[in-house]
Amino acid sequence: MPLIHAELTNEPRAGIMLYSFATAQAEEVYKEVSSTKVDAIFVAGGPHPSAEPKDALRFFDYVVIGEGEETLPELIGVLGKGEDPAKVKGIAYKRDDRLKLTDPRPSVDLDLYPPFGRILAPIEISRGCPWRCAYCQTPRLCGRRMRHRSVSIISKYARRHKDIRFTSPNSLAYGSDGLTPRLDKVESLLRALSELKKPVYFGTFPSEVRPEFVSTLALELITRFCSNRVLSIGGQSGSPTVLKAIGRGHEVGQVVVACELCLDQGITPIVDFIFGLPMETEDDQNLTLDLTKKIIVKGGLVRAHYFTPLPGTPLAGTKSAPVAHLVAAELGKLALGGKLKGSWMARGKTF
């Protein structure tokens, strides 16, 4: 696969312009591309174009769908030679105003590609997710088979960092199928990284862990090999009805147990909850609020989020439920006390 020599730019330039963006940035990107006068081929990738290629092709010439490590270099090579892009797997484009989708490309071997470019970033250790959370793009974009970079490759790139952080759909699922923990694999990774004599932060933002993967043994590995004394946990709702409806795959009680285990080990749980899911009632929101308060009283912290429907997911096109006035007011009080962070209201809304 040929190397791509690309550089960052603040504005469109002649040649081949590459954009990667999520739904929140889509309109801003579209405005920039539609107003430019430069002679360029515009290629889009990332979460939004992958899920909505037809939408992106209103402004772009080509869309790379899903993983781009192999697709993008091949596409650029074909364009440079003036060949037919139909031979490139994993792209979308238009011919005679008709949408063309080529055959999907198999998932890449992560070990063959670096986890970041010239700019240092948290190391991606895993990709894909076997769960089917209705709000999440990850299994739709990266597949339901969880893949992992090897310990040797992760260690190689970790040497570049002053402190070592990761991205993963579920850090404690490293080395596993994503359904059942393989703590032997986690230990092998953390033990190897400890030899670098640098701070290691595992299961912290921008990663998180699923609550049912939190165990005494898992936490002992973190306290033994890692510098972090916080753990990000995806709770998402305090309502059993909502958890079932979004296909979360765990119970409310498992969120509680995970927090208690963390606190027993001297680790502060930081639990993420989503408010405004479309099937959510005020009673459901109050259950999540009650669980939020319970976690905070015990010594944990909470990050609150307002639901945004994402393209390509089962909840795409749905309408966010309004956050009840009293629930929003209580969340505001907790935020003022420094125990809760995030944004739990629609843009422009106040309580």
pLDDT-derived band at 120, boundaries 50, 70, 90 = confident
Residues 20 and 133 in one domain: no
Helix boundaries (H) for 86-201: 138-142, 151-158, 183-194
Given a cut of 90, is residue 133 above it in pLDDT? yes
Domain limit, last residue, from 101, 126, 159: 101
Token pair of 71 as six digits: 């697709």
Contact, 256 vs 292, CB < 8 A?
no
CATH number at residue 36: 3.40.50.280
The verdict on 84 and 123 lying in the same domain is: no
144 located within any domain: yes
Which 8-state DSSP code applies to residue 123? E
**Whether 186 contacts 175, CB under 8 Å:** yes
Instruction: Return the percentage of the chain with pLDDT > 70, whole number.
Output: 97
Q: Are 96 and 133 in the same domain? A: no
Do 69 and 114 lie in a common domain?
no
The verdict on residue 6 lying in a domain is no
**Rounded to whole angstroms, how far apart are CA atoms 105 and 90?**
5
Backbone angles phi, psi at 138, to 5 degrees: -55, -55
Do 23 and 144 lie in a common domain? no
One domain, residues 42 and 186: no
Kindly report each contact of residues 176-183 with a partner whose C-beta sits within 8 Å and lies 24 or more positions away, as own/partner. 176/146, 177/130, 177/145, 177/146, 178/128, 178/129, 178/130, 178/131, 178/146, 179/130, 181/213, 181/215, 181/218, 183/215, 183/217, 183/218, 183/221
Same domain, 142 and 260: yes
Question: Does 229 fall in a domain?
Answer: yes
Question: Do 77 and 42 lie in a common domain?
Answer: yes
Q: Is residue 351 in a domain?
A: no
Q: What does the alpha-carbon distance between residue 34 and residue 203 come to, in Å, rounded to a whole number? A: 40
Confidence of residue 2 (pLDDT cuts 50, 70, 90): low
| Residue 185 included in any domain | yes
Burial 207-225 (b: 16+ CB within 10 A, else e): bbbbbbbbeeebbebbeeb
Environment class of 47 (CB within 10 Å of its CB; exposed 0-12, middle 13-18, buried 19+) = buried
Both 331 and 301 in a single domain? Answer: yes
Q: What is the pLDDT of residue 167?
A: 96
Q: Is 331's pLDDT higher than 70?
A: yes
Residues 308-322 have a mean pLDDT of 96
Q: What is the pLDDT of residues 31-51, one digit of tens each?
A: 999 999 999 999 999 999 999
pLDDT in tens, 209-245: 999 999 999 999 999 999 999 999 999 999 999 999 9
- Please tell me whether residues 28 and 114 are part of one structural domain: no
Of 101, 118, 151, the residue at which a domain comes to its end is 101
Cβ-proximal residues to 235 (8 Å cutoff; 6+ apart), any chain: 211, 255, 271, 272, 273, 291
Residue 158 lies in a domain: yes
How confident is the model at residue 6, as a pLDDT?
77
CB of 275 closer than 8 Å to CB of 327? yes
Same domain (yes/no): 95, 28: yes
Residue 117 has pLDDT above 80, yes or no: no
| Cα 1–chain centre separation | 27
Can you tell me whether residue 236 is helix, strand or coil?
strand
The Cα–Cα gap between 288 and 304 comes to: 10
**What span, in angstroms and rounded, lies between the C-alpha atoms of 217 and 100?**
50
Q: Among 47, 69, 101, where does a domain finish?
A: 101
Farthest CA pair distance, the chain: 64
> Can you give the pLDDT at residue 61?
97
Residue 349 is assigned to a structural domain of this protein:
no
Beta strand segments in 177-278, E: 230-236, 268-275
What CATH number does residue 289 fall under? 3.20.20.70
Full domain range(s) for residue 90: 15-101
In the predicted model, what is the mean pLDDT of residues 141-167? 96
Q: How many CB atoms lie within 10 A of CB 140?
A: 20
On average, the pLDDT of the chain sits at 95
pLDDT of residue 351: 43
Residue 201 tokens, joined: 């932060």
Contacts of 333 (CB under 8 A, 6+ apart): none
**The model's pTM:** 0.92
The end-to-end CA distance of the chain, in Å, is 53
Distance, CA of 58 to CA of 60 (rounded, Å):
6
305 has a pLDDT exceeding 70: yes
Residue ranges in 82-215 assigned as alpha helix (H): 138-142, 151-158, 183-194
Question: Would residue 10 count as lying in a domain?
Answer: no
The domain total for the chain is: 2
For residues 210 and 139, state if they share a domain.
yes
